[in-house]
With several copies, the nearest count.
Chain A
Amino acid sequence: MTNLSVDLPGLKLKNPVMPASGCFGFGREYSEFYDLSQLGAIIMKAATGEERYGNNTPRVAETASGMLNAIGLQNPGVEKIIANEVPFLAGYEVPIIANVAGRTTEEYVKIASTFYKTKAVNAFELNISCPNVKKGGIQFGTDPDMAADVTAKVKAASNLPVYVKLSPNVSDITAVAKAVEQAGADGLSMINTLTGMQMDLSGRRPLLANQTGGLSGQAIKPIAIRMIYEVKQHVSIPIIGMGGISAAEDVLEFLLAGASAVAIGTANFQNPYVCLEIIGELPHVLQKYGFDSVSAAIGRGHYAA
């Protein structure tokens, strides 16, 4: 039997596959397709301090092997998420990770402590990398000092593990990774989307109402793999890898590059069963390439001569 389980700080995963934040809502919709208990974990849509409406529409566009989105962190706010969404997810045997997004450090801390007080979730994914909001988000993610500061403060606000979600829109992602590791991050989550744009030829303007959007999907996989491979050489905290995963082979590629678990975003839109199917395929793919467990594959792309 191939052992798919992975132990991460604060998270015992029966397998390394989880839906990525923002691509799975709060689980309800996909629970109509399959039993969510089969997932390794669930990362919820970003939570902000107050309810947010987000950007105007159009909010998505299709690109070659990918898509752009500029949702703008629409969500009901941390209180309502705890009241209306978490209880539903708590009905499943699956760790819950809250994606936390603030405009200010104080907002990040407030959201985290609210989740913590109610014992609602198992870990945080600190979203310092959303490219689609005017304030907060990516601002924190491009500056190592700001990233470290918000990490330290959120760490201090609870004793839940904090995975910091890094932005790929930077000259030196390793610098940010090292800074948040030193600030106490328990793990990294990478990558968020790359800032992109599509022009509406007839409208003679950017197609998305927000002008720019975050590029995700298979198109960005090579960038994700490169960044994870690079960061892995410089940090010792585990990495949750994501960016363009749509098959079990992709999961192995992320593991070899240095990820300890993976998240799947965009591919859910094409195939609502993709997480489940990948979990089913993974043992065969691991076997095919000579691994009898997920753990055995983690970081193994670094050792060959």
Chain B
Amino acid sequence: MMKRVEMTVASVREIGRDTFEMILQNAYIACNAKPGQFLHLLVDSRTLRRPISIASINQENDAVTILFKITGNGTKWLSACQPGVTLDAIGPAGNGFSYDEATMETALLIGGGIGIPPLYGLGKELSKKGIHIKTILGFQSKEYVFYEGMFQEFGKTYVVTNDGSYGNQGFVTSVLDQVGNFDRYFSCGPIPMLKAVTNKLSDHQGSISLEARMGCGVGACFACVIPTDSEGGYRKICSDGPVFAADEVML
């Protein structure tokens, strides 16, 4: 169940250009969070909270890790928070990744830019369960690359950059042909990327995690809807998602 909690910043460090890793402590969140869920963070007393994925969970230390990129005032403020500061968070929000362990031997993780964070926690979980993992990570360019090593610990990891300054040049879909077999994919990133991925992998089962500008973040305001196939049908990204089956919503 979602709660409003105070989380204490344990550390914050820059791990790529404008990209930060922050460890936040709170026992309730660490105990109840699942990969794919997010925190709705109050930043600088602004009107709207900022949704940020839980990138990994460390129950022993009552801590979770978030990874974020500075894209505006809220994330800038966040990046300047010093250890010891407490943040007001609502979480764990939304629904995490779900899958059938029994039918999955190999999973493919496909992340683009700041969509990568939730996949890391998922990778850790799958890895613990003995599921084989392959990863494709896409970035704008070399300076933005982060967590490559962390994913390599799970298995083979392909890095692509749009400008070719690191790894393969192109988009995440450019290396799909090289990854070989997998039973299910999990993807998170910008909408154009998710469109390309779901199209190319339409013969596979997959889960995608979506972003949207949010109001309430709890399912009450209809700010974050995404249409489904059926006439007038929709899902709320904040409370029905952010993770959906690849064919559940219309991108």
Which A residues contact B (CB, under 8 angstroms)?
22-25, 28-30, 32-33, 45, 51, 53-54, 57-63, 65-67, 69, 71, 74-75, 217-218, 266, 268-273
Contact of A32 among B1, B45, B215, B221 (CB under 8 A): B1
Cβ contact within 8 Å between B219 and A59: no
Cross-chain contact A23 with B212 (CB below 8 angstroms): no
In the complex, what residue of chain A is closest to B88 when comparing beta carbons?
A: A271
User: Is there an interface contact between A67 and B221, defined as CB atoms closer than 8 Å?
Assistant: no
Within 8 Å CB of B222, what residues of A?
Answer: 22, 25, 45, 54, 59, 71, 74-75
State whether A266 and B47 are in contact (beta carbons under 8 Å apart), knowing that A29-B220, A57-B224 are contacts in the complex: yes
List, in ascending order, chain A residues with CB within 8 A of B46's CB: 62, 270
* Contact yes or no, A25 B223, CB < 8 A: no
One digit per residue, 1 when the CB lies within 8 angstroms of any chain A CB and 0 when it does not, for chain B 46-58 equals: 1111000000000
CA distance A32 to B226 in the complex (A): 24
Please pick, from A29, A63, A74, the residue contacting B216 in the complex, using a CB distance under 8 A.
A29
Taking CB atoms, residues of chain A closer than 8 Å to B49 are: 269-270
Total A-B residue contacts, Cβ distance less than 8 Å: 97
Q: Which residues of B contact A30 (CB under 8 A)?
A: 218, 220
A69: contacting residue among B4, B215, B217, CB under 8 A: B215
The prevalent SS among residues of B at the interface is loop
- Asked if B47 and A272 make an inter-chain contact with CB atoms under 8 angstroms apart, the answer reads no
Can you list 22 residue pairs at the A/B interface with Cβ under 8 Å? A23-B216, A23-B220, A29-B216, A29-B219, A30-B220, A53-B227, A54-B222, A57-B223, A59-B215, A59-B223, A60-B215, A66-B47, A67-B47, A69-B221, A71-B223, A268-B220, A269-B215, A269-B217, A270-B48, A270-B49, A272-B90, A272-B218
Q: Are A58 and B220 within 8 A (Cβ)?
A: no
Q: Provide the residues of chain B in CB contact with A75, threshold 8 Å.
A: 222
Complex interface residues of chain B between 1 and 21 (CB less than 8 A to chain A): 1-2, 4
Pair A53/B234 contact, Cβ less than 8 Å: yes
Most buried by B among A22, A62, A269: A269
State whether B221 touches A57 (Cβ < 8 A): no
Task: Pick the residue among A24, A32, A57, A65 that contacts B225 (CB under 8 A).
Answer: A57
- 19 more A-B contacts (CB under 8 A) besides A53-B232, A53-B234? A28-B219, A29-B216, A30-B220, A32-B1, A54-B225, A57-B212, A57-B226, A58-B213, A59-B215, A60-B223, A61-B213, A62-B47, A63-B47, A69-B221, A74-B234, A266-B47, A269-B216, A270-B45, A272-B90
| Distance in angstroms between the alpha carbons of A269 and B45 in the assembled complex | 12
Residue B127, interface by CB 8 Å: no
Choose one: A28, A54, A217, A273; the contact of B47 (CB below 8 Å). A217
Chain A nearest CB: distance from B212 CB in Å? 6
**Interfacial chain A residues near B42, Cβ < 8 Å:** 270
Does B213 contact A24, Cβ atoms closer than 8 Å? no
Rank and list the top 9 A-B pairs by shortest CB-CB distance, nearest first: A25-B220, A29-B220, A60-B223, A74-B222, A29-B218, A58-B213, A29-B219, A62-B48, A60-B215
Q: Specify which chain B residues have a CB less than 8 angstroms from the CB of A32 in the assembled complex.
A: 1-2, 218
One of A23, A51, A60 near B232 (C-beta < 8 A): A51
Give the residues in chain B near A71, CB-CB below 8 Å: 221-223
From A23, A62, A266, name the one whose CB has the most chain B CB atoms within 10 angstroms.
A62
Kindly state the separation between the CA atoms of A51 and B232 in the bound complex, as whole angstroms: 8
Chain A CB within 8 A of B26 CB: no
Contact in complex: B215, A67 (CB < 8 Å): yes
> Which of B48, B221, B226, B234 makes the CB contact (< 8 A) with A23?
B221
Q: In angstroms, how far is the closest chain A Cβ from the Cβ of B69? A: 15
Residue B214 at the chain A interface, CB threshold 8 Å: yes
Q: Are B4 and A272 in contact (CB under 8 A)?
A: yes
The complex places the Cα of A23 from the Cα of B219 at a distance, in Å, of: 10
Q: In the complex the two chains form, is A269's CB within 8 Å of B48's CB?
A: yes
Given A51-B232, A54-B222, check contact A33 B4 (CB 8 Å).
yes
How far, in whole Å, are A54 and B212 apart by their CA atoms in the complex? 16
Cα–Cα distance between A217 and B46 once the two chains are bound (Å)? 11
CA distance A54 to B223 in the complex (A): 10
- Bound form: Cα–Cα A58–B211 in Å: 11
Q: Which of B2, B47, B212, B225 contacts A74 (CB 8 A)?
A: B225
B219 contacts A57, C-beta separation under 8 Å: no
CB pair B47 A65 closer than 8 Å: yes
Docked CA distance A269–B42 (Å)? 10
Q: Which residues of A contact B48 (CB under 8 A)?
A: 60, 62, 67, 269-270
Asked whether A273 lies within 8 Å of B218 as measured between CB atoms, the reply is no
Q: Is B213 a contact of A25 with CB atoms below 8 Å?
A: no
Bound-state CA distance A217–B2 (Å) is 24
Q: Mark B194-234, 1 if CB is under 8 A from A, else 0.
A: 00000000000000000011111111111111110000101
B141 on the interface (CB 8 Å rule)? no
Chain A nearest CB from B39 CB (Å) reads 14
Nearest chain B CB to A44 CB, angstrom units: 11
